[in-house]
Chains A and B, each alone.
Chain A
Amino acid sequence: MGKGNILSLLILTLVIIIFPIVIKDTYLHTIGIFAGINALVAIGLTILMGYAGQISLGQAAFYGIGAYISAILSLHFGLPVILSIFLALLVSSTAAIILAIPALRLKGHYLAVATLGFGEIIHIILHEWGPGGPSGFGDIPKMNLFGYTFTSTNDYFYLVWMCVVVIMIFSLNLINSMTGKALQAMHGSEIATQTAGINLTKLKIKVFILSSIYASLAGAMYAHYVTFLSPSSFSLFHSVLFLMMVVIGGISNIWGGIVGALIITILPEVLRGFKEFDILLYGLILTLFLLFMRKGLVPMTIDTYKRWIHR
Chain B
Amino acid sequence: MDSQITIKIKNISKSFGGLKALENVSFSVKTGQIHALIGPNGAGKTTLMNIISGLETADSGEIIFNDKPINKLPPEKRTKIGIARTFQNLELFGEMTVLENVMVGMYLKYETGFIKSGLMLNSVRKVQKDIITKSLNILDYVGLNHRKNEYAKNLPVGEQRLLEIARAIAADPILMLLDEPAAGLNIRETKNLSILIKNLKEEKQITLLIVEHDMELIMGISDTITVLNFGKVIAEGDPLSIQKNPDVITAYLGEED
A residues neighboring B (CB under 8 Å): 1, 170-171, 173-174, 177-182, 184-185, 187-189, 191-200, 206, 210
Q: How far is the CA of A196 from the CA of B113 in the complex (A)?
A: 17
User: Is B94 a contact partner of A188 (Cβ separation < 8 A)?
Assistant: yes
- A196-B104 CB under 8 A given contacts A174-B114, A178-B131: yes
User: Is A196 a contact partner of B167 (Cβ separation < 8 A)?
Assistant: yes
8 interchain residue pairs of minimum CB distance: A197-B108, A188-B93, A177-B117, A197-B79, A192-B91, A173-B120, A170-B118, A194-B75
B14 touches A (CB below 8 Å) = no
B55 touches A (CB below 8 Å) = yes
User: Is A184 a contact partner of B55 (Cβ separation < 8 A)?
Assistant: no
Q: How far is the CA of A192 from the CA of B87 in the complex (A)?
A: 8
Q: How far is the CA of A199 from the CA of B85 in the complex (A)?
A: 16
B92 touches A (CB below 8 Å) = yes
B100 touches A (CB below 8 Å) = yes
Contacts of A187 in B (CB 8 A): 93, 95
Closest to A193 in B: B104
Q: How far is the CA of A198 from the CA of B127 in the complex (A)?
A: 17
Q: How far is the CA of A127 from the CA of B231 in the complex (A)?
A: 59
User: Is B95 a contact partner of A199 (Cβ separation < 8 A)?
Assistant: no
User: Is A210 a contact partner of B94 (Cβ separation < 8 A)?
Assistant: no
Q: How far is the CA of A191 from the CA of B85 in the complex (A)?
A: 11
User: Is A195 a contact partner of B79 (Cβ separation < 8 A)?
Assistant: yes
17 additional A-B residue pairs with CB within 8 Å, beyond A181-B107, A196-B108: A170-B118, A173-B118, A173-B119, A178-B103, A178-B131, A181-B100, A182-B107, A185-B107, A188-B96, A189-B92, A192-B87, A194-B75, A194-B79, A195-B53, A197-B80, A197-B107, A197-B171
B residues neighboring A (CB under 8 Å): 53-55, 74-76, 79-80, 84-85, 87, 91-96, 100, 103-108, 110-114, 117-120, 124, 127-128, 131, 167, 170-171
Q: How far is the CA of A206 from the CA of B120 in the complex (A)?
A: 17
Closest to B96 in A: A184
User: Is A178 a contact partner of B119 (Cβ separation < 8 A)?
Assistant: no
Tell me the minimal C-beta distance from A195 to chain B in angstroms: 5
Tell me the minimal C-beta distance from A151 to chain B in angstroms: 31
Closest to B177 in A: A195
Contacts of A194 in B (CB 8 A): 54-55, 74-76, 79
Contacts of A178 in B (CB 8 A): 103-104, 106-107, 110-112, 117, 127-128, 131
Q: How far is the CA of A198 from the CA of B103 in the complex (A)?
A: 12
Closest to A192 in B: B91
Contacts of B119 in A (CB 8 A): 170, 173
Q: How far is the CA of A192 from the CA of B79 in the complex (A)?
A: 11
User: Is A181 a contact partner of B118 (Cβ separation < 8 A)?
Assistant: no
User: Is B76 a contact partner of A198 (Cβ separation < 8 A)?
Assistant: yes
Contacts of B53 in A (CB 8 A): 195
Q: How far is the CA of A171 from the CA of B117 in the complex (A)?
A: 9
User: Is A195 a contact partner of B103 (Cβ separation < 8 A)?
Assistant: no
Contacts of A184 in B (CB 8 A): 93, 95-96, 100
User: Is B95 a contact partner of A196 (Cβ separation < 8 A)?
Assistant: no
Q: How far is the CA of A198 from the CA of B80 in the complex (A)?
A: 9
Q: List 13 A-B contacts (CB under 8 A).
A: A1-B120, A174-B117, A178-B106, A178-B110, A179-B113, A181-B100, A181-B104, A185-B96, A188-B96, A195-B85, A196-B104, A196-B107, A196-B171
Q: How far is the CA of A27 from the CA of B87 in the complex (A)?
A: 58
User: Is A195 a contact partner of B55 (Cβ separation < 8 A)?
Assistant: yes
User: Is B171 a contact partner of A192 (Cβ separation < 8 A)?
Assistant: no
User: Is B108 a contact partner of A191 (Cβ separation < 8 A)?
Assistant: no
Contacts of B75 in A (CB 8 A): 194-195
Q: How far is the CA of A206 from the CA of B112 in the complex (A)?
A: 13
Tell me the minimal C-beta distance from A203 to chain B in angstroms: 9
Q: How far is the CA of A210 from the CA of B113 in the complex (A)?
A: 12
Of B54, B92, B103, B127, which is within 8 A of A192 by CB?
B92
Contacts of A192 in B (CB 8 A): 87, 91-93, 167
- A174-B112 CB under 8 A given contacts A188-B92, A195-B75, A198-B76: no
Closest to A173 in B: B120
Tell me the minimal C-beta distance from A108 to chain B in angstroms: 17
Q: How far is the CA of A193 from the CA of B104 in the complex (A)?
A: 8
Q: How far is the CA of A191 from the CA of B108 in the complex (A)?
A: 15
User: Is A179 a contact partner of B93 (Cβ separation < 8 A)?
Assistant: no
Q: How far is the CA of A178 from the CA of B106 in the complex (A)?
A: 9
User: Is B95 a contact partner of A191 (Cβ separation < 8 A)?
Assistant: no
User: Is B118 a contact partner of A171 (Cβ separation < 8 A)?
Assistant: yes
Q: How far is the CA of A2 from the CA of B3 in the complex (A)?
A: 49
Tell me the minimal C-beta distance from B79 to chain A in angstroms: 4
- Of A1, A170, A171, A200, most buried by chain B (CB within 10 Å of CB) is A170
Tell me the minimal C-beta distance from B249 to chain A in angstroms: 35
Tell me the minimal C-beta distance from A205 to chain B in angstroms: 11
Closest to B83 in A: A195
Tell me the minimal C-beta distance from A264 to chain B in angstroms: 26
